Amino acid sequence: MYCSKILKLTCTFALATLFMAPASAQTTVYRLPGQHNAEHQDLIAGQINVKDQVKAEATQQLMDNFFTEEEEPEFDIYEEGWGSQRVNCYNEKDVPQTRVINVANFAMPCDGYVTSPYGYRRRFRRMHKGIDLKVQTGDTVYAAFNGKVRLTKYERRGYGYYVVIRHENELETVYGHLSKFLVEPDQYVKAGDPIALGGNTGRSFGSHLHFETRFMGYAINPSAIFDFANQTVHTDEYTFDKNTFTHARDFSPAANAEHQRRYMAEQSKRPKKPAATSGKSNKNKSARSYTVRKGDSLSRIASRNGTTVKNICRLNGITSSTTLRPGQKLKLK
């Protein structure tokens, strides 16, 4: 009974307190219970410090996962030695022992047969670093692969007029003894594009194309890449090796002889072309005289004008060792 009275009084007091609450209670600021505040502080204290956790290595790993298909930037092949005026402009100490080179996208530089192979020449006591292919003066010479022209130059006692092209597959090709350029330095060419006309300039004893294939300065035997008798490449990939780059692949003298026979038969059917003897143009071919310019030599004048040093000397009463003066007039006919 006593407990029941106490319970009633307690409930009555609680109800009275509720209904007697002032109207201003609606604007009262309610505060979080102390227990909730403590939990909130514990949560903040337990959070991970992002500054201490995000490392450069983790960020790189994350980016690698996002861009798994993205490749490294390509090495600029038109950089090393690009401004050099030499055929070999590379530092050979950096050349790898082996390298697989894609040669699938190719064009034959000409359709001629091999007149002189790659290798050591006892007669001249030096290495023949390319291969000689038969062309007629004025025949078109083509780029072997896609790439950019690095040099168009004249060398009196060597290549004559020659072109050097650096290709996308990292090879360089050299085309020598030309009669006329059809391209200029820094020009991009595709495999099979005309780049020059064949000729007989420089140290040459008859119209032909001197053709070289080089990898970072190493003169590879062109017959290791090209099957000249069948006018194709041996395989779509060539493996350069410092120990074997001078070796030919499947070279067959009999196949070359058969190719020569077919080539000569085709040549006999072609109408004869006028000879192209100038490295730039044929304007001076019919000239009767020539005015010497600075840097000229008798051999260069003869080459540009379709004549010989002997003939110029005979017509002008001079010798091959005569010093030429700028402005001097020379008879050509």
Instruction: Give CA–CA dist 223/248, Å, rounded.
Output: 5
Helix ranges, the chain (H)? 2-19, 34-46, 50-53, 56-66, 253-269, 298-304, 309-316
pLDDT of residue 198: 96
The predicted structure's pLDDT at residue 144: 96
The confidence score (pLDDT) of residue 44 equals 57
pLDDT value for 154:
93
d(CA 213, CA 257): 23
Token output for 42: 């514990």
d(CA 262, CA 234) in angstroms, rounded, equals 20
pLDDT of residue 276: 45
Give the pairing type, strands 237-241 and 232-233: unpaired
Segments in the chain below pLDDT 50: 18-19, 21, 23-25, 50, 54, 62-64, 66-75, 275-285
Give the per-residue pLDDT at 41.
65
3-state secondary structure of 36: helix
Positive or negative CA dihedral for 205, 174, 211, 178? negative
Query: In this predicted structure, what is the pLDDT of residue 315?
Result: 86
Structure tokens at 77: 């092949």
| Contacts of 218 by beta carbon, 8 Å cutoff, 6+ apart | 92, 95, 240, 242, 245
pLDDT at 28: 53
pTM: 0.60
Task: Kindly state the percentage of the chain with pLDDT values over 90.
Answer: 40
